[in-house]
Structure 1
Amino acid sequence: MTPPPQPGTNTDEQSVKARRAAWGAFAGTAIEWYDFYVYGTAAALVIGRLFFPDADPLAQTLSALATFAIGFVLRPVGAVLFGYIGDRVSRKTSLLITLVMMGGATVAIGCLPTYESIGVAAPIMLLVLRMIQGLSVGGEWGGAVLIASEAAPAHRKVLAASMAQVGAPVGSILSTGVFLLLPSGDALFDFWWRVPFLLSGTLLVVGLVIRIKLEENEEFVAARERKEAAAESSKVPVLELLRRFPLTNICVFVASFAVSGVYFRNVFALNWATETQGVARDVFLNALLIGALIQVIATPLAAIAADRIGVRRAQIIFTVVYLVVAPIPMLALISTGNTGSVYLAIVLSYIGHAVYYATLSGFLTTLFPTELRYTGISFGYQLSGSLVSGFVPLVAAALVGVDGTRILPVQLLYGALIAFSLIGILLGTAMSRRETAAYEAATGLPSTPAGADRG
């Protein structure tokens, strides 16, 4: 919990630091997700033809979506690596490194020669750059959440953590907007597909300027000093987590399954709707843009509600809402091919995902002590991304079939992942309490929960 102001403490300065941390989390995460969504959109629209031209149309799609999935493989490694840096050395340093890696890899993709120019070397180089992106994202999210939430007062921690969540739809808006401005047809495949990737260089500079000004949070510094004083600082965070918090880690892993909904919508559904359902590319991209704008508004409102009623209670309610409004309606409405139905489908999906995702970061920060929190919230979340979310577009594309008519298996898969998340959320707090008590008894370190109401 954020320590109370001491005599002589400048509370105005603390407020400035908290706002700067929140905006730093937002800006950096928006840039990171812009980069990631740019690739997801490109995978759905152009990557197959440019890098796998010898395959038939379905194989092209599956190959392009497979390169999208590869980006998730190294996410857990990124969580461990940058979790170590963030828990033992510096939250700020970790976030600067992840930003440079993601931005650099994205610009490099925009400069890649295609299969037509250099043959099989092109998709190989693409895979390597996607893995660098995955490594970066694995460390980015947890650090951005913590740099904001740990600097915030206790009654605003979920709202502060949600600033990192707002970065996701803003990244989606930026990437979708750029693709909407691009020409269609052969011009897109000749050169213009590169533009969204190259623009990341400008965003990278902006993000670095913002993040260089960040300071380490007092809550993290105090926890690091306590751990050093207790001679615990030499232990590797991920090993300590697996030993001390095994059940809590499983709950985080499962609670994060529903994050995959964004990939059902922005990658699989985009490809499926435009390739087999007769939906115009611009119609679907415009729907994504409107949905993302709604998420930008819904995210802080949901976080404010969670700060008032308790983050666990809010997380349960919002996950149930997501389960009801998204999995079945989205694909059923899109399958009609009607423009109005497509817009409604995307908006419902965004609303459900927005309220669930808005409070997820704030909820997960309540489950681990400060000195293990970066690795704690990152590892299970990113492992879920690696083993579940990254393969959702690929699995969904295979389930729906060549003619795109078998939507029920995809609807059931989507719904099952959200239902499993609800189970992880329901069990997470109890597992955390039990394992935190054992951790305190074994190490002599007092736990320092993030300040959000666990009830």
Structure 2
Amino acid sequence: MSGTAPAPPQMSDPARARNARRAAWGAFVGTAIEWYGFYVYGTAAALVLGKLFFPMASPVAQTLSALATFAIGFVLRPVGAVLFGYIGDRVSRKTSLLLTLVLMGGSTTAIGLLPTYESIGLLAPVALIVFRMLQGLSVGGEWGGAVLIASEAAPRHRKVLAASMAQVGAPVGSILSTAVFLLLPSGDFLVDGGWRIPFLLSGTLLLVGLVLRLKLEENEEFLAARERQRRDPRRRVPIFELLRTFPLTNLCVFLTSCAVSGVYFRNVFALNWATETRGVAQQVFLNALLIGAILQTVLTPLAAMAADRISARQAQLIFTVVYLVVGPIPLIVLVGTGDTVLVYVGILLSYVGHAVYYATLSGFLATLFPAELRFTGISLGYQLAGSLVSGLVPLAAMTMVGEDGTATAGIQVLYAGLIVVALVGAAWGSAVSRRETMRYLGVPMVRR
């Protein structure tokens, strides 16, 4: 190639600061709307969808069938990571985020319009599965794009905090979802059509998210990386380049992301287990989830600011250990008592652990890849963990605990084991990333 392509235009300092603020808020609002749709489905699956879409089964089989459709939503998440990762790494971070938002908002709203089994028979669960898979496809691309559009626009000393804005979106989505279900009358109202309301509200939220994301601008780091890609014809499609040059880093991202499954352990499995077999009132559990999500919203930026002061890696290690201590055993033991106060304590401790671990996860993973491959890089391993682990956790735990809900030792081991796996990935990730990044950039390795 002859000549040199012009460098991307440089922003002024005020414009750069304004873009960083817009990017952070765009990441936050968009992910809140995305996760609202995801949590609405999880809550509805635990409470009512089994009765409406799988009525021919026994009550336990109804629940398992509904949770199976929840798990199916994770199948396409890695596909979304690859598809939207390509768009985000090669074309536009902004375009990718707009597409994922429309896909999630549209599919969530469509679920709220579906006829039930009583109206159209087997077509009802089939349509439910299709829209659930579209939700998964959307989430597969949303998270990585939201993390990067915020963190890449931020100054160096605020990158973990900026990335955590996408993480704050998750508990806010949970707050919105739980609040809507709390405001609805329980019992027959939900079964008779009230369950549609939370899904249909997604259409309104979609318009709000689109207005904010249309104002986003591409950040300078991404524009420079895209220009380097255009000047280098040897570079492959991101997923192929990633698998060829960063195999161990991808593995570390997958391992470190396994503890994300804890949220589905609590919000889906434990919700059903506690209300169906342990005598916990649905309202009590939903109130605890709402308070816990508010607590996570407060703790997330605080933990991210701490990470910016030390390092993303150190913070990730420390906070994952905290999660291991306060999460798995207290949740199952205390919720299993059925005592209202202890149920609240167990759920809130789980939120504390998950909040600090999740707060720094995005900022840590973003340090592991060069900008040219970063969208696909952080998305693929994260979404594979969602597809292969998180989506199956409620179903596996429900099966392990037994029909009477008393076999809890196995699920405690499962929950704790996933956090230990995440700790191993975080401990190994940075060193592996340095070696593979140096090879990718053609920098000679110096052995000591």
TM-score interval (norm. to shorter): over 0.9
Change (3 A) 1:8 1:48: closer
Q: 1-side partners of 2:108 and 2:230: how far apart? A: 38
Aligned to 2:156: 154
Aligned to 1:424: 425
Instruction: Pick the aligned partner of 1:71 from 73, 84, 106.
Output: 73
Alignment of 1:372 with 2:373, yes or no, is yes
Alignment of 1:124 with 2:126, yes or no, is yes
Check whether the contact 2:279–2:338 (CA below 8 A) recurs between aligned residues.
yes
Q: CA deviation at 1:156?
A: 0.2
Aligned to 2:294: 293
One-letter identity of the residue aligned with 2:185: P
Q: 1-side partners of 2:185 and 2:201: how far apart? A: 16
Aligned length: 437
Aligned to 1:447: none
Q: 1-side partners of 2:237 and 2:13: how far apart? A: 35
Instruction: Pick the aligned partner of 1:98 from 97, 100, 124.
Output: 100
Alignment of 1:280 with 2:263, yes or no, is no
Q: CA deviation at 1:365?
A: 0.4
User: In structure 1, the residue corresponding to 2:250 is in which secondary structure?
Assistant: helix
Aligned to 2:4: none
Aligned to 1:174: 176
Q: CA deviation at 1:188?
A: 1.1
Provide, for residues 398-426 of structure 1, a one-character-per-residue CA deviation record: whole Å limited to 9, x for no partner.
Answer: 00000000111000000000000000000
Aligned to 1:43: 45
Q: 1-side partners of 2:338 and 2:269: how far apart? A: 16
Q: 2-side partners of 1:290 and 1:188: how far apart? A: 22
Alignment of 1:243 with 2:241, yes or no, is no
Q: Percent identity?
A: 73
Aligned to 1:392: 393
Q: 1-side partners of 2:346 and 2:10: how far apart? A: 54
Aligned to 1:260: 261
Check whether the contact 2:10–2:220 (CA below 8 A) recurs between aligned residues.
no
Change (3 A) 1:8 1:114: closer
Aligned to 1:80: 82
Aligned to 2:25: 23
Q: 2-side partners of 1:42 and 1:321: how far apart? A: 31
Change (3 A) 1:304 1:239: same
Moved more, 8-17 or 150-159: 8-17
Instruction: Pick the aligned partner of 2:145 from 140, 143, 146.
Output: 143
User: In structure 1, the residue corresponding to 2:406 is in which secondary structure?
Assistant: coil
Q: 2-side partners of 1:21 and 1:176: how far apart? A: 27
Aligned to 1:187: 189
Q: CA deviation at 1:7?
A: 12
Q: CA deviation at 1:232?
A: 3.9
Q: CA deviation at 1:8?
A: 9.2
Q: 1-side partners of 2:432 and 2:367: how far apart? A: 12
Aligned to 2:364: 363
User: In structure 2, the residue corresponding to 1:354 is in which secondary structure?
Assistant: helix
Aligned to 1:345: 346
Moved over 4 A (4+): 6-9
1:321-332 aligned at under 5 Å gives the runs 321-332=322-333
Aligned to 1:112: 114
Instruction: Pick the aligned partner of 1:213 from 211, 215, 219.
Output: 215
Change (3 A) 1:232 1:87: farther
Q: 2-side partners of 1:135 and 1:230: how far apart? A: 30
Q: CA deviation at 1:230?
A: 2.0
Q: 1-side partners of 2:383 and 2:241: how far apart? A: 17
Aligned to 1:336: 337
Q: 1-side partners of 2:139 and 2:348: how far apart? A: 26
Provide, for residues 258-299 of structure 1, a one-character-per-residue CA deviation record: whole Å limited to 9, x for no partner.
Answer: 000000000000000000000000000000000000000000
One-letter identity of the residue aligned with 2:429: G
Q: 1-side partners of 2:248 and 2:286: how far apart? A: 40
Q: Where does structure 1 lack aligned partners over 5 or more consecutive residues? A: 1-5, 445-455
Aligned to 1:453: none
Aligned to 2:57: 55
One-letter identity of the residue aligned with 1:205: L
Q: 1-side partners of 2:326 and 2:151: how far apart? A: 29
User: In structure 2, the residue corresponding to 1:183 is in which secondary structure?
Assistant: coil
Root-mean-square deviation (CA, aligned residues, Å) is 1.3
One-letter identity of the residue aligned with 1:174: L
Provide, for residues 65-86 of structure 1, a one-character-per-residue CA deviation record: whole Å limited to 9, x for no partner.
Answer: 0000000000000000000000
One-letter identity of the residue aligned with 1:257: C
Q: CA deviation at 1:124?
A: 0.2
One-letter identity of the residue aligned with 2:147: V
One-letter identity of the residue aligned with 2:196: R
Q: 2-side partners of 1:100 and 1:232: how far apart? A: 34
Check whether the contact 2:160–2:304 (CA below 8 A) recurs between aligned residues.
yes
Q: 2-side partners of 1:150 and 1:217: how far apart? A: 7
Q: CA deviation at 1:9?
A: 5.4
Change (3 A) 1:7 1:170: closer
User: In structure 1, the residue corresponding to 2:162 is in which secondary structure?
Assistant: helix
One-letter identity of the residue aligned with 1:131: M
One-letter identity of the residue aligned with 1:432: S
Q: 2-side partners of 1:85 and 1:142: how far apart? A: 12
Q: 1-side partners of 2:192 and 2:49: how far apart? A: 12
Q: CA deviation at 1:184?
A: 1.3
User: In structure 2, the residue corresponding to 1:175 is in which secondary structure?
Assistant: helix
User: In structure 2, the residue corresponding to 1:293 is in which secondary structure?
Assistant: helix
Moved more, 180-189 or 356-365: 180-189
Q: CA deviation at 1:337?
A: 0.3
Q: CA deviation at 1:56?
A: 0.5
One-letter identity of the residue aligned with 1:45: L
User: In structure 1, the residue corresponding to 2:442 is in which secondary structure?
Assistant: helix
User: In structure 2, the residue corresponding to 1:367 is in which secondary structure?
Assistant: coil
Aligned to 1:3: none
The normalised TM-score by structure 1 is 0.95
One-letter identity of the residue aligned with 1:19: R
